[in-house]
Each structure stands twice: as C-alpha cells, then as structure tokens.
Amino acid sequence: MILPKTIQTLRKKDFIFLLACALLFLMLSLSIKSLNFYAGYYVNLGIFYLLATLVLLVVRKTGAIIIFCLITAFITTRYSFFNFLNYYQSLIVFLVIGIVFELVFCISKLKIKNIPLDVLLGTTLSSATIPWTVFYFTTERTLSVNSFNLSIISFFTTIIASSIAFLIWFKIKSSKQVLKFVYE
C-alpha cells in the first residue's frame, strides 16, 4: 500500500515550485547549449534529474514528477536536449520519463521502504529508458547502436546527479524556509 500522505492533491505553492524548477532547468539548459551533443545531453540529463530529485524530496506527493516532466516539456521542448524531435514526440518522451519514474518509485516504495534507494531506483531506471524512447521516434536507425551505451551512461550520470541532490537536500532539509514550505 502506498502511504496515504503521498496521495494528496498538489497545493498552489507546489505548482509554483514545479514551475520554478522547470524554468531553472530551461535557464541552465540554455547556458550550456554550446556543448557538443553528447556532452550537452549528459549535462542536461544530470541537471534535469538533480532538479527532479529535489522536486520529489520537497513536494513529496505522487504525480509531482509527472507534472514536473510535463511542465518541463512544455517550456523547454525547443531548447532541450531533444530538440531533434518534434513537439509532440518530445512531450511523449518526457511523459514516459515521468511515468517510469513514478511507477518504479511507487513499486520500490512498497518493497524497499528506504527513501534514498526508492528515489535512486526511480531516477536511474527512468533515465535509462530515455535513449530507447527517443530511438522509437527517430528515423535514423544508427542510434540503435548507441542506445545501449547511452542508457548505461545515462544510468551512471543520474546516479551522480541524484547523489548530489541528496547531499543538497540533507543540507537544507532542516532549514526554516524548507520546513515552512513542506509542512505549512
């Protein structure tokens, strides 16, 4: 059974926080646009999953990651690391990322009951599905050779990003502003 406190409606300030994180991702994504494709992909992926992990730790509600992924897709589709996909394909990729994240997180929450491990499993497995989801939409089949390698490197990039997010979270979780946001 999923904990009842995680199945709640999102508050207005939760949506504002999700939007702020998506806008922060857009700004950081634009600032590193000069990198080549692979370096830009991994840096963007790391930033995205760092912010997604922080969103999950701060908001702590089921569905927050899916909404974060959709908001991010709506505002960053032309500027994100999926700029070679059209708008609807990019939305679907971000939706798949969010759904896989939430499913893995909720299933692992039932079995493991260790919040850092739940989040780490959700982030890493959802990031490993990105190359395969993108491969589904591409017309060039040369990506299939690289999809396995991209999945493995995405997996490890996300482990690093989530670990950094946990370090940030454990540093700020007892601050007055965070406690006020979470419990008010």
CATH of residue 160's domain is 1.10.1760
- The percentage of residues in the chain with a pLDDT greater than 70, rounded to a whole number, is 85
Q: How many CB atoms lie within 10 A of CB 51?
A: 21
**What is the pLDDT at residue 2?**
46
Q: Which residues constitute the domain of residue 72?
A: 10-183
Q: Give the total number of structural domains in the chain.
A: 1
Contacts of 30 (CB under 8 A, 6+ apart): 79
**Which range (27-31, 125-129, 140-144) has the least confidence?**
140-144
**What is the pLDDT at residue 51?**
93
Q: Does some domain include residue 31?
A: yes
Q: What mean pLDDT value characterizes the chain?
A: 81
Q: Does some domain include residue 5?
A: no
Q: Does some domain include residue 3?
A: no
Average pLDDT for 25-48: 84
Contacts of 129 (CB under 8 A, 6+ apart): 96, 97, 100, 151
State the number of CA atoms in the 13 A half-sphere of 87 facing the CB: 3
Q: Does some domain include residue 127?
A: yes
pLDDT in tens, 58-113: 888 888 889 998 998 888 776 666 666 777 877 888 888 889 888 888 888 787 77
Q: Does some domain include residue 85?
A: yes
Average pLDDT for 146-156: 83
CA dist., res. 129 & res. 96, Å (int): 8
Average pLDDT for 32-60: 86
Residue 137 has pLDDT above 50, yes or no: yes
* pTM score of the predicted model: 0.85
Residue 39 has pLDDT above 80, yes or no: yes
**DSSP string spanning 58-111?**
HH--TTHHHHHHHHHHHHHTTTSTTTTS-HHHHHHHHHHHHHHHHHHHHHHHHH
pLDDT in tens, 8-23: 677 888 899 999 999 9
**What is the pLDDT at residue 19?**
93
Contacts of 6 (CB under 8 A, 6+ apart): 60, 61, 62, 109
**Distance of alpha carbon 164 from the chain centroid:** 14
Q: Does some domain include residue 1?
A: no
Q: Does some domain include residue 64?
A: yes
**What is the pLDDT at residue 83?**
63
Average pLDDT for 116-129: 84
Q: Does some domain include residue 170?
A: yes
